[in-house]
Amino acid sequence: MALAEFTPVGINFTLTPEHEDIRRAARDFAGTEIAKVAAHFDETGEFPYDTIKKMGALGFMGLEVPEEYGGAVLDTVAYVLAMEEVSKVDASHGTIMSVNNSLVCHGLLNFGTEAQKLNYLVPIASGKKIGAYSLTEPMSGSDAGNMKSRAVRNGDHYVINGRKSWVTSAPVADFIILFTMTAPEKKHKGITAFIIETDKPGFSRGKTEPKLGIRASATSEIVFDNYEVSAENRLGEEGEGFKIAMTVLDAGRIGIASQALGIAEAAYEASLSYMQEREAFGQKIGQFQGLQFKIADMKTRIEASRLLIYQAALAKERSKKTGERYTTESSMAKLFASETAMFCAHQAVQIHGGMGYSKELPVERYFRDAKITEIYEGTSEIQRMVIARNELGLR
Ligand code: CAA
């Protein structure tokens, strides 16, 4: 699919027929398959294996990956459209899809050897296996370079010890891209990335996080106890891990921005319908100017988010040819869209009153799910820091 067909020139955001097709396919799948199970998996916190497997079979788990590596051969615009549609129905499915696509597939595609792509990217992009990305540790979240886990080289392999936390999909992942220290004295330049197989001795899962939202997306600690990984499973060179982690997060943040857009739209559309139906003081509540202003603010922020996301998606597409970074575009999209999701979900609960607070409607789920988009893959504070540093030339 040629990028040139989707062009912002002349401010014409008309989507190509292929983009319309993927959007429709994602919307149909989410409407028929995910909508009916979303509340159940939110309540139980179980992992939605069946729907994720079906999404894999349809190509949603490796949308931008070339055919020879098991992917759907689409572009970033297609990815953001699909993420938005899936997340609009259920943000948990969006999280699982986003991590698999933009953290794991993107990392393996851009930094993996041919053998690594064949062994790991193919099963993950085709949805047969599930991938995860592990950067955070109990004592290093935003300060990602300050990690305590270690990998020590021993001949043709490395021995890994330590504990990582907040790993999305860890409870179900077959393979994990792990960032750990091989040379602590070099600080972030001493971080190295590895591809971890989770069925090997020395690997175990720690506590599962009891989360406020995106409850169907499984999250846990992972623990390494003298885990041996072959040097062939090192992703990139020794010391390149931090740059790989950051580069991959640039892609990941576009996915989270699209997830946030989906949540915001769901909250907005529920509010619109409710305001057109619900009556108070002898009229539809949509007649009240105080609530109309909420609709205006929600809609404006949603459309502004969409533009920032499309801008970031196009910058990432350009980067495939030029290698140019799109860090600022990605951070701006994530920052604005996640704050929009939280704003819209907050307004939606208020507009619905008691019904917004009830589990009988999905509005309270949008509110709980929206919050994570301001936290994971870099908090809003980190996004502001990244944008400002880049603007000031402080990188
Ligand atoms: N692309 C490429 N290189 C980058 C980069 C990027 N986007 N950002 C930084 N770098 C490079 C810098 O150029 C620098 O390289 P040199 O040493 O060669 O000059 C190096 O990395 C260090 O950069 P900084 O000095 O800026 O590093 P820092 O320690 O000040 O941290 C930070 C920068 C932006 C705060 C970073 O630590 C960060 O993004 N923190 C947030 C981490 C995060 O998002 N965590 C979430 C993890 S995933 C998750 O949420 C769970 C999940 O499963 C989804």
- Judged against a pLDDT cut of 60, whether residue 257 lies above it is answered with yes
CA distance 95 to 110: 21
Q: What is the pLDDT of residues 23-57, one digit of tens each?
A: 999 999 999 999 999 999 999 999 999 999 999 99
Q: Provide the pLDDT for residue 14.
A: 82
Q: Provide the pLDDT for residue 145.
A: 87
Q: Provide the pLDDT for residue 7.
A: 53
CA distance 136 to 138: 7
Q: What is the pLDDT of residues 122-148, one digit of tens each?
A: 999 999 999 999 999 999 999 988 999
132, β-bridge pairs: 176
Q: Give percent of the chain above pLDDT 90.
A: 95
CA distance 300 to 280: 26
Average pLDDT over residues 73-84: 97
Q: Is the pTM of this model over 0.75?
A: yes
Average pLDDT over residues 106-119: 98
Indicate the top mutation candidate among 168, 243, 335 to test ligand 1's pocket, ranked by most ligand atoms within 8 A of CB.
243
Quote the distance between the C-alpha of residue 325 and its chain's center.
Answer: 19
For the record, the structure tokens of 76 come out as: 């970033």
Q: Provide the pLDDT for residue 74.
A: 96
Average pLDDT in the chain: 96
Q: What is the pLDDT of residues 336-345, one digit of tens each?
A: 999 999 999 9
Q: Provide the pLDDT for residue 6.
A: 54
188 lines ligand 1 (CB under 6 A): yes
Q: Which atom belonging to ligand 1 lies closest to the Cα atom of 187?
A: 29
- Judged against a pLDDT cut of 80, whether residue 75 lies above it is answered with yes
The string of DSSP codes covering 332-383 is HHHHHHHHHHHHHHHHHHHHHGGGGGSTTSTHHHHHHHHHHHTTTTS-HHHH
Contact 55, 97 (CB under 8 A): yes
- Catalytic position from the list 317, 377, 381, 391: 377
Scored b (16 or more CB within 10 A) or e, 142-158 reads: eebbebebbbeeeeebb
Closest protein CA for atom 31 of ligand 1: 143
Q: How many angstroms does the Cα of residue 301 sit away from the middle of ligand 1?
A: 27
- Judged against a pLDDT cut of 60, whether residue 9 lies above it is answered with no
- Locus of tokens 């604005």: 336
Q: Provide the pLDDT for residue 1.
A: 43
- Judged against a pLDDT cut of 80, whether residue 217 lies above it is answered with yes
Average pLDDT over residues 67-73: 96
Q: Provide CB contacts within 8 A for 84, sequence distance 6+.
A: 26, 258, 259, 261, 262, 265, 309
Q: What is the pLDDT of residues 358-369, one digit of tens each?
A: 999 999 999 999
98 lines ligand 1 (CB under 6 A): no
181 lines ligand 1 (CB under 6 A): no
Residue 377 among the catalytic residues: yes
Q: How many angstroms does the Cα of residue 127 sit away from the middle of ligand 1?
A: 28
Q: How many angstroms does the Cα of residue 145 sit away from the middle of ligand 1?
A: 7
Q: Provide the pLDDT for residue 2.
A: 42
- Judged against a pLDDT cut of 50, whether residue 279 lies above it is answered with yes
219 lines ligand 1 (CB under 6 A): no
- Judged against a pLDDT cut of 80, whether residue 8 lies above it is answered with no
- Judged against a pLDDT cut of 70, whether residue 268 lies above it is answered with yes
Q: Beta strands 279-280 and 283-284: pairing type?
A: antiparallel
Q: Which atom belonging to ligand 1 lies closest to the Cα atom of 95?
A: 54
